[in-house]
Amino acid sequence: MRFLLPCLAVFALLLPAQTPPDQTFDLVVVSGSSGGFGAALAAGRMGLKVALVEDTPVLGGMLANGISNIDTYSYESLSGIFDEFRLRVREHYRPQFDTDPIFQSSSAQPPPRDYRGRQSNSPLEGGRWEPHVADRILKQMMAEAPTVQVFYRTWATGVVMRGNRILGVTTEDASGHRRRLLAPVVIDATHEADIAAWAGAPYRVGREPRSPREPHAGHILYFNGTGEIMEGSTGRQDQAIVSYGLRLTIRHYAPEDGDAHLLRTPPPGYDPAHYRLAGFGAGISMPGQKTEMNANPAGNELQFINWTWPEATRAERAKLYETFRNHALGFLYYVQHERGWKHLGLPRDE
């Protein structure tokens, strides 16, 4: 038997690489972003067999990863699946309306002159939420569509093509398992349009040039207070894209909570000079005594180094992500230890 095992091993090495197994669907949606979530859920409610590919354990994109409010002031724009989400958020927090400060402060504010405006962002109307609550509600909504199969911690690695038509995507999950997900329709809901780019669709990265139809495009410098265009503006196309940053969810801890939430050591690459010009009010902005830590251009955001992100590989993006993560944690460390706001820290339930 001891001689047979090496022979079997050699035989296995000589076998050709196997094609990943296929799974067939009516629709494949790549990315569980807010748009991808909505597309997959809507199709599932129509009875279609749907594959939703998401590279994290969380659904909803920024809805459950940092943007914990309705980023609009138009009441009329709230409709469809998003409005269902908002109403479920409202009902989830209704038992806390009389106890949580965010709801009490909202009820004490005078009513807006136009109900269709800021009322859409009101905590009392489901306009504010905690990230883990958003993730839970979105997963509950998706579970109600049993024909949708969500592939968590799974990355799209390429496209399956016939001529210029996309037949599906190749994927790899966190354990290294590979498969092909095939469907007559594939929706690219990624923020970077990876699927479209892999399929050969033309694209460009950066700002488009100024033209008669785009008077404010291209390399333009302006004064933020008045919008006045300043000298040095060329209107030329360039590779610049908007800054990136990890928007941390921060909790306000009471003295009796202790100091376990304090960062004991700074993250790699920490430099307090990066944060000295950052403005951050740290007021409570969501339920659970929490706030969004978002300060730009100085603070948790970074410029310039993200210009390569759209065309970067998965490994390259992972390295960039660590840079953004360390920079955001550095801002929290700065706020705690340089500004003395030791009551702020990462929530234990997020």
DSSP class per residue in 145-183: -TTEEEETTEEEEEEEEETTEEEEEEEEETT--EEEEE-
Percent of the chain with pLDDT over 90: 65
Residue 233 placed within a domain: yes
Look-up of token digits 């894209």: 241
Do 267 and 166 have their domain in common?
no
What pLDDT score does 143 carry?
98
Do 56 and 185 have their domain in common?
yes
Q: Reply yes or no on whether the pLDDT at 338 is more than 60.
A: yes
Do 60 and 105 have their domain in common?
yes
> What would the mean pLDDT of 66-87 be, rounded to a whole number?
84
Provide the token pair at 119: 């009322």
pTM for this predicted structure: 0.87
Residue 13 placed within a domain: no
Provide the token pair at 340: 């003395």
Residue 1 placed within a domain: no
Q: How far apart are CA 166 and CA 16, in angstroms?
A: 26
Residue 314 placed within a domain: yes
Do 179 and 45 have their domain in common?
yes
What pLDDT score does 15 carry?
46
Provide the token pair at 296: 């730009």
157-177 pLDDT, tens digit each: 999 999 999 999 999 999 999
Identify the weakest region by mean pLDDT among 73-77, 166-170, 217-221.
73-77
Q: What is the mean pLDDT of the chain?
A: 88
What pLDDT score does 118 carry?
54
- Amino acid identity of residue 211, one-letter, is S
DSSP 18-63: PPPPEEE-SEEEE--SHHHHHHHHHHHHTT--EEEE-SSS-SSGGG
Could you tell me which residue, 218 or 28, shows the higher pLDDT?
28
261-279 pLDDT, tens digit each: 999 999 999 999 999 988 8
Do 133 and 235 have their domain in common?
no
What pLDDT score does 111 carry?
52
247-257 pLDDT, tens digit each: 999 999 999 99
Q: How confident is the model at residue 4 (pLDDT cuts 50, 70, 90)?
A: very low
Number of domains the chain is built from: 3
Q: Of 270, 288, 285, 287, nearest to 335 (Cα)?
A: 270
What pLDDT score does 61 carry?
94
Could you tell me which residue, 24 or 229, shows the higher pLDDT?
24
Cα–Cα distance list, 165 to 90, 155, 168, 178, 185 (Å): 43, 21, 9, 22, 10
Q: Please give the residue range of the domain that contains residue 290.
A: 244-345
